Amino acid sequence: MNLRKSERLSTEISGNVNKYEAYREAWSRIKFAQENHFFLEAIAIQESIISDRLIRLLSHPAISNPLTIGNGGRYPSFSRLIDQWRKEFPAGVQSGLYQDLIAAVDK
């Protein structure tokens, strides 16, 4: 059974191809979930994408207290990632429509 929602591209991708393909598939699944009123599924996938990006940001060596994999080989929960993000950027993060992106994501 093929559960893939996106089509393979015919053009070549430069950079992290696996990450690109994973995100492309995730966004296809979000769109499918929203169209079919599976809103919790869409939210769960979106949270996974945000968590992945926060882990990447907060694991960077330039961060004052970089994340490490905890007991059992797991990263912190979403709420702990948000808390760590706040600690690293206490003045908040301004982005587009949001005065404080951290507060908006947490909400």
Q: Average model confidence (pLDDT) for the chain? A: 86
Measure the CA–CA gap between 65 and 90, rounded to whole angstroms: 14
Q: How confident is the model at residue 1 (pLDDT cuts 50, 70, 90)?
A: very low
pLDDT of residue 82: 95
Structure-token pair, residue 79? 């709420």
In this predicted structure, the answer to whether residue 5 has a pLDDT above a threshold of 60 is: no
The full set of domain ranges for the chain reads: 17-106
Per-position DSSP letters for 40-80, written without gaps between them: HHHHHHHHHHHHHHHHHHHTSTTSSS-----GGG-PPPHHH
CA dist 100 and 2 (Å) reads 40
In the prediction, which pLDDT does 65 show?
87
